[in-house]
């Protein structure tokens, strides 16, 4: 058992000063002056924030096949350093996760590591080629979402048929919206057109669709329209798309204009945006120099979200918890994301008065424009299943 005393407990519903007791991997009790008898460890969290551990909906750990960039262990360690207890991985590994053998290998090795909870997306098309659907009869029962992340979906007819099959199988899909033909003209058009199309299909067919790393005013408006119509759509934005603008640091989709950033933040404030997800995309220095798009994000996500939403826009920390914990848990169907008795004992301790500097990453990679930048809000500890999986060294007893 672990007893955390004197912390400021924050989740999507608000904030209270209380103790929290973890037992057998679950939240066992919350209250004032909880007894410490029988506890294996008592943690004094006075002056610190205790939140549900963060849940990442969109990350790349490059394992198998590209482990010089990242692997399951280093990716999990980066997640823990950033306050994450659960990570959902994309399927663009080598080989691609388009068959149950590759899928099960990843899931087995992740479980053996015992660091964070790993969920693995399954490809929508064979080899992510966008030509032939994966064999739906062989998709393991534990798969929650399909995704060809990094690639737009099929043509209109094939996408319509895919959505129908997903509804029949009760599977969700996470979509990187891009019309490849339009990308050659303007990537803004490429994202906007496919987003509007797939919002429409989601509404007419009725299968759940999650829109990845939405980055433009019009793509946001498409999802807003779908939600107003009651369509089964959810969406994420990245920390870098709500913080940076007019930057030439190469990511996919690209960093947009200031007007897009302002629109995305407004989308968070009005409830259109469900999740902040990092699109953690590690690359070697050589690959990045040759133009590979993407940045690491797990270790910088909370400080950036805290700066943008709380410090710059005067929002409560509970909104950050909603975007990083509660809503991702709902989308994945997990018993996580709230500080509630009976919920999983996944917690993050944060010192808002301490500075986080983006350096000495746990990730194998350091491809981020935030390298060397400092933010308020330092993750001190990450607890998963009632066990301390990460603790900042300066805090060790």
Let me know the angle formed at the C-alpha of 22 by 17 and 28, rounded to the nearest 5 degrees. 85
Strands (E), the chain: 2-11, 14-23, 26-31, 41-44, 49-52, 54-59, 84-89, 117-120, 145-146, 172-175, 209-211, 233-237, 275-276, 347-357, 374-384, 387-391
Describe the crossing of helices 258-269 and 217-228 by its angle, rounded to 10 degrees: 20
| Exposed e or buried b per residue across 108-120, where buried means at least 16 C-beta atoms within 10 angstroms of its C-beta | eebeeeebbbbbb
Residue 260 CA from chain centroid, whole number: 20
Out of 279, 344, 351, 366, the active site residue is 279
- Tokens describing residue 273: 């945006």
Helices (H) and strands (E) in the chain, counts: 11, 16
Ranges of H-type helices in 274-333? 285-289, 301-305, 317-321, 327-332
**344: annotated active-site residue:** no
How far apart are the C-alpha atoms of 107 and 71, rounded to whole Å? 13
Residue 100's Cβ-count burial label (10 Å; 0-12, 13-18, 19+) is: middle
- Tokens describing residue 387: 């066990």
Of 111, 112, 110, 116, whose CA–CA distance to 86 is shortest?
A: 116
- Tokens describing residue 364: 């194998």
How far apart are the C-alpha atoms of 103 and 118, rounded to whole Å? 11
- Tokens describing residue 370: 């935030």
DSSP structural state of residue 313: T
Q: Count Cα neighbours of 63 within 13 Å in the Cβ-side half-sphere.
A: 21
- The catalytic site residues sit at 279
């Amino acid at each position: 058992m672990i007893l955390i005393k004197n912390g400021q407990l924050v989740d999507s519903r608000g904030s209270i000063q209380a103790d929290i007791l973890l037992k057998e991997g679950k939240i066992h009790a919350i209250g004032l002056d909880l007894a410490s008898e029988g506890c294996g460890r008592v943690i004094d969290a006075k002056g610190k924030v205790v939140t549900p551990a963060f849940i990442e909906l969109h990350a790349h750990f490059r394992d198998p096949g590209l482990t010089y960039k990242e692997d399951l262990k280093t990716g999990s360690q980066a997640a823990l350093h950033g306050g994450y207890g659960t990570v959902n991985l994309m399927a663009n590994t080598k080989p691609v996760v388009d068959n149950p053998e590759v899928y099960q290998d990843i899931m087995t090795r992740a479980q053996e590591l015992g660091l964070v909870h790993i969920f693995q997306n399954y490809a929508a098309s064979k080899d992510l080629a966008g030509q032939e659907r994966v064999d739906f009869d062989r998709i393991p029962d534990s798969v929650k979402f399909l995704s060809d992340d990094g690639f737009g979906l099929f043509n209109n007819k094939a996408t319509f048929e895919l959505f129908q099959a997903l509804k029949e199988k009760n599977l969700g899909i996470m979509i990187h919206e891009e019309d490849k033909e339009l990308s050659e003209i303007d990537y803004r058009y490429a994202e906007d057109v496919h987003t509007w199309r797939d919002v429409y299909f989601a509404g007419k067919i009725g299968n759940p669709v999650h829109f990845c790393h939405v980055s433009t005013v019009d793509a946001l408006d498409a999802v807003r329209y779908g939600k107003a119509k009651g369509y089964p759509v959810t969406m994420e934005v990245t920390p870098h798309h709500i913080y940076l603008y007019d930057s030439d640091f190469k990511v996919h989709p690209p960093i947009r204009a200031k007007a897009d950033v302002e629109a995305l933040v407004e989308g968070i404030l009005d409830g259109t945006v469900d999740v902040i997800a990092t699109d953690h995309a590690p690359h070697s220095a050589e690959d990045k120099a040759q133009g590979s798009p993407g940045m690491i994000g797990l270790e910088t996500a909370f400080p950036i979200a805290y700066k943008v939403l709380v410090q710059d826009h005067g929002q409560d920390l509970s909104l950050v918890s909603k975007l990083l914990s509660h809503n991702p848990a709902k989308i994945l169907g997990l018993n996580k994301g709230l500080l509630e008795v009976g919920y999983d004992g996944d917690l993050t301790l944060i010192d808002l008065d301490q500075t986080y500097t983006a350096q000495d990453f746990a990730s194998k990679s350091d491809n981020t424009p935030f390298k060397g930048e400092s933010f308020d809000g330092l993750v001190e500890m990450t607890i998963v299943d009632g066990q301390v999986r990460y603790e900042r060294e300066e805090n060790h007893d």
